[in-house]
Amino acid sequence: MAMSSGRRPFGLSLDPLKGESLTGFVLRLAHRLHISPHELARLTGLTEQDRLGRARASLSTRLTPAEIKNFAATTRLDPREVRAMTLEPLASRYPPAARSVANVRAGKVYSMHTDGWLFATTARYCPRCLAGDGSDIQNAHGGPWQILWRLPVVFACPLHEVFLEHLCPSATNRSTSAAEPNCFPVLPPPESTLPTAGLPRIRTSRPVGPAGAPLAHDPLHHHRPGPALLALQHKILRLLRPGGPKQPAQQYFTELILLAGLVMICWPRVQPVGTTRQLAEAVAQHLAIHEGTDSRPYRSTGAPVDAFACAGLLQVTDRLLAADDLREALSALAPEENRTRSGIPPTRHLIWDKNFKKHRSACSERFQHAADTIVPTFRRTGKGGLRLPSTGAGLRPEHIPAFLPQALAEHHLNFLSAIAPKMRRRSASVFLVRRARGGSLDEAAQFLGINPQGKRNGYTQLLNCHLRASGTARDFEQALDAITAELLAGPVIDYQRRREALATWTLEPESWQHLLARLPVLTSHRKPISDDRRRLAVSSYIWTRVTEGEPDFAPCPPHIAFDPALRAAWTRERHNVFHWLRKADHQPYYGALKPLLEDHARLLAKVIDRR
Ligand SMILES: [Zn+2]
């Protein structure tokens, strides 16, 4: 039967084996048909529009609908069977596959090589799977090359319970494993260009490596994966299986890959966590090889090709991810910690930060929140840019009082004894707002109405220096967490709305007269303050109570704000009145005034909140 495209279906074909990759299928079918894989690719239309490079690298990644149709027709397969042999069905669960598929779709067939967590030109393999399952068809043409073997997170064969191999058996010196292995059954080039390529051997034997030795051999790894590693491998395979929910898989692999990168950067710090000594040694050896041969930082966060080292790395990473307190688990990996206490080059962390920022939205809220607070330099809009707001913190910037209540400060910030209490309370609020809304500390201060008059907030820099020098940066972050939890547990108050409502407010003269009528005569021997000045001063006091603001930043009444002399008098008298109100217990006049002001503040707050 002639095809519309002019192609004829083969007289013979094969059924794809479970999980088989398209390239593997091409190899087996070519073997069966006694033609070269390249010839088969040509006859099925795989190399029609192209250049060899594409066929070699992207065959098993993605095919166009037309390619699938042609291939299915000539090989007598269902188009769905053809698509199932590519990476495309995995793309919705494994983000590096999605990126690679997108690159191929966009015609960027060469940039598909750049993802460190997808094997583009190499793959691992299970020698026992390749040896076949003993059936006639597998005895004749070999077992299947699994599409999943292109994923570095697949390090063991669950059927045979062995680690996957990556070296051709002829490469006997395993210490040379850093050199790029290439056992992947890429389509050999046409015989005319490279007559000595693997083609004749493929025709006459089971799958072979470039050196011509059969890949179906006994495992090279001396160790077998133990129950914990097999459980991890099963968990990973479950997440990759079609039919399950996609988002948890995407999030898991995004986080696993990001965190594995950080684990590699900080390796000696996390070595004792959750893996065996042999696996840890394999990881260390892998990292040492990278240090020695190629220190380009991006190399260091790609997956180890060696399944054994990769398994150790993933085991450590998975256990970190599963920690009850993720933030605590990540704390040893925080760049801040490492920058100040280890010799890790800052650029490695900066590159990781950038990568994290890029993939952050694909992570779970839990991971975002933990990593955001652990990695101080991360959430920025660009180099030297501003922080992006943290999600999942739950506390909105308007719910943060400008002057952290004293009780909270005493409860959580006493370890900052070197910082003046006033600065502790002010800074904590600024940092909380920065957490909630992103941006700079200066912007957070401005949001709170804390006005350093055009100067930078020196005190926050001072605090940062102190935290670093004293090694208490993490304590501070944890204190902010605890304060956040307490603020969230209390009544939700929109302090921003209160600040806005009172921006130009002063106590109405009638209300002031009303209050005065209830007070004893002022008996101070000091020069009495004029009634109106006292009215403005108590207005500031009410303002601090309603907005939970700091006395220093109470807004100056507009009608005196631009007169330096009046403003100075206002500042002075405000100080005096605040002083006496603090000592109200020993002063009948202020002792009587204070509760009246508190009552007034409560009423005023209620009115504003109800608006
Ligand atoms: Zn196997």
Angle subtended at Cα 113 by Cα 108 and Cα 115, rounded to the nearest 5 degrees: 110
pLDDT at 218: 57
Residue type, 376: P
Tell me how far the alpha carbon of residue 146 lies from the centroid of ligand 1, in angstroms.
Answer: 9
Give me the mean pLDDT over the 162-177 stretch: 61
Tell me how far the alpha carbon of residue 20 lies from the centroid of ligand 1, in angstroms.
Answer: 12
Give me the mean pLDDT over the 265-286 stretch: 80
Cα–Cα distance, 218 to 162 (Å, whole number): 10
The pLDDT > 70 percentage for the chain reads 76
Of the candidate ranges 310-324, 494-508, 579-593, the one whose mean pLDDT is the lowest: 579-593
Angstrom distances, CA of residue 54 to CA of 58, 60, 73, 75, 96: 5, 10, 21, 21, 18
| Per-residue pLDDT tens over the stretch 33-55 | 999 888 888 888 887 655 544 54
Angstrom distances, CA of residue 325 to CA of 237, 330, 482, 570: 25, 9, 14, 51
Tell me the pLDDT of the chain averaged across its residues.
Answer: 79
Size of the chain, expressed as the number of residues it contains: 611
Domains of the chain, residue spans: 22-204, 245-374, 397-492, 501-610
Give me the mean pLDDT over the 208-228 stretch: 64
Give me the mean pLDDT over the 78-96 stretch: 94
Tell me how far the alpha carbon of residue 28 lies from the centroid of ligand 1, in angstroms.
Answer: 17
Number of helical (H) and strand (E) elements in the chain, helices listed first: 29, 2
Tell me how far the alpha carbon of residue 162 lies from the centroid of ligand 1, in angstroms.
Answer: 7
Tell me how far the alpha carbon of residue 114 lies from the centroid of ligand 1, in angstroms.
Answer: 28
Task: Answer with the residue of higher pLDDT: 19 or 189.
Answer: 19
Tell me how far the alpha carbon of residue 396 lies from the centroid of ligand 1, in angstroms.
Answer: 52
Give me the mean pLDDT over the 540-546 stretch: 96
Task: Answer with the residue of higher pLDDT: 56 or 589.
Answer: 589
pLDDT at 589: 84
Cβ neighbour number for residue 219 with a 10 Å cutoff: 16
Tell me how far the alpha carbon of residue 223 lies from the centroid of ligand 1, in angstroms.
Answer: 15
Tell me how far the alpha carbon of residue 127 lies from the centroid of ligand 1, in angstroms.
Answer: 7
Cα–Cα distance, 105 to 110 (Å, whole number): 12
pLDDT at 299 over 60: no
Contact 208, 201 (CB under 8 A): yes
**Residue 31 CA from chain centroid, whole number:** 45
| Per-residue pLDDT tens over the stretch 170-193 | 544 333 333 333 344 443 333 322
Treating both helix axes as pointing N-terminal to C-terminal, what angle do 246-265 and 95-105 enclose, rounded to 10 degrees?
Answer: 100
Tell me how far the alpha carbon of residue 123 lies from the centroid of ligand 1, in angstroms.
Answer: 14
Give me the mean pLDDT over the 218-244 stretch: 87
What residues are neighbours of ligand 1 (ion), with CB under 5 Å? 126, 128-129, 157, 159-160
- CB pairs under 8 A, 24+ apart, for 380-384? 380/353
Place of tokens 């939890």: 485
Tell me how far the alpha carbon of residue 82 lies from the centroid of ligand 1, in angstroms.
Answer: 22
pLDDT at 205: 36
DSSP string, 426-468: HHHHHHHHHHHH-B-HHHHHHHTT---TTS--HHHHHHHHHHH
Most confident of the following: 197-211, 460-474, 495-509: 495-509
Give me the mean pLDDT over the 290-315 stretch: 74
Tell me how far the alpha carbon of residue 25 lies from the centroid of ligand 1, in angstroms.
Answer: 17
pLDDT at 189: 35
Among residues 164, 168, 174, 167, the alpha carbon closest in space to that of 212 is found at 168
Residue type, 180: E
The residues near 103 (Cβ < 8 Å, ≥ 6 apart) are 109, 111, 112
pLDDT at 546 over 50: yes
pTM recorded for the entire structure: 0.61
